[in-house]
Amino acid sequence: MSSSEVKVLGAWASPFVMRARISLNIKSVDYEFLQENLGSKSELLLKSNPVHKKIPVLIHGDKAISESLVIVQYIDEVWTSSESILPSDPYDRAIARFWAAYLDEKWFPSMSKIARARGEEEKKAAIKLVQEGLVLLEDAYTKCSKGKMFFGGEKIGFLDIALGCFLGWLRVTEKAHKVKLIDEAYSPGLVKWAENFCADAAVKDVMPETDKLYEFSKVLMAKMRAPQKPA
C-alpha cells in the first residue's frame, strides 16, 4: 500500500504516537509521518479529530481514526497478513486490554506527577506509586509472557506496545530526578523485557534518544510553568 494512503499525525516525542508507528512497522505498512508543532494544531488535525483535537490520528485513505489504543486495534484488524498484535485467545486479549487501560488511566499519570511534584515529599510519594505499579506489571509480565521474551510471547504484542511507548519518558524521568524506576531488585523481568523491546526492528527507529527527549522535556516543562496569557 502506498504511504500516501496511510498517514500518522503526531509528534516524535509523544509516547502515544509511538504506538501507532510501532504497530504499522510490525505490519510492514508504509506510512507518511506528519509532524504537528508544539503549541499549535494544524487544520488537518482539527478536521481529522474534531472531538479531542489531539494526536495521534491515523489517516487511512479517507478515514480518520483517533486514540492510540483504538488505532493499534484498527491496524491489527485491517492488516491481517502479518501476525496479530492482539492475543488470539479471548481471555488473554481481555487481560492485555485491562493492563493497557491501567497504564493510561493510572500508571503513566503517576509518572507524570513526579515532574510536577512540589517538594521532596510529594515527589517521593509519586515515585513510590510508579514503583508499586511496576511491581504489578512485573507480575503481569511473568503471567502474560509465559516465559517468553515479550508480554505477547515471542513477538511484540498489544501490551508490549502499550507499556513500551513510555520507556523513553521513563528514562528521562530517571535522569532528571536521579531515580531508578525499572530496577533489577523488584522488576528483573521488565529490565530484560525493556532491552528486548527497544532493540526490536519495529521499535528502534522510533524510540526517542534519551538525551534528545530530555532536552525537549525541559522546553516542555518551561512552557507548562510559564504564566498563561489572558484570552
Q: Is the dihedral of CA 199, 205, 207, 210 positive or negative?
A: positive
- Output DSSP code: residue 65: E
Classify 107 in phi/psi space as left (phi over 0), alpha (psi -120 to 50) or beta.
alpha
Q: Which 3-state string (H, E, C) describes 94-122?
A: HHHHHHHHHHHHHHHHHHHHHHHCCCHHH
What was the pLDDT predicted at 222? 77
| Each residue's pLDDT tens digit, 54-79 | 999 999 999 999 999 999 999 999 99
What distance in Å separates the CA atoms of residue 107 and residue 132, rounded to the nearest whole number?
A: 9
Domain covering 90-214, topology? Glutathione S-transferase Yfyf (Class Pi); Chain A, domain 2 (1.20.1050)
What was the pLDDT predicted at 231? 44
Domain limits, the chain: 3-78, 90-214
CB 120, CB 179: distance < 8 Å: no
Q: Which CATH number applies to 3-78: 3.40.50.1980, 3.40.980.10, 3.40.50.1220, 3.40.30.10?
A: 3.40.30.10
User: Could you say which residues of the chain have pLDDT below 70?
Assistant: 1-4, 224-231
Among 142, 146, 141, which Cα is nearest to 159's? 141
What distance in Å separates the CA atoms of residue 55 and residue 34, rounded to the nearest whole number?
A: 11
Count the neighbouring beta carbons within 10 Å of the beta carbon of residue 23: 25
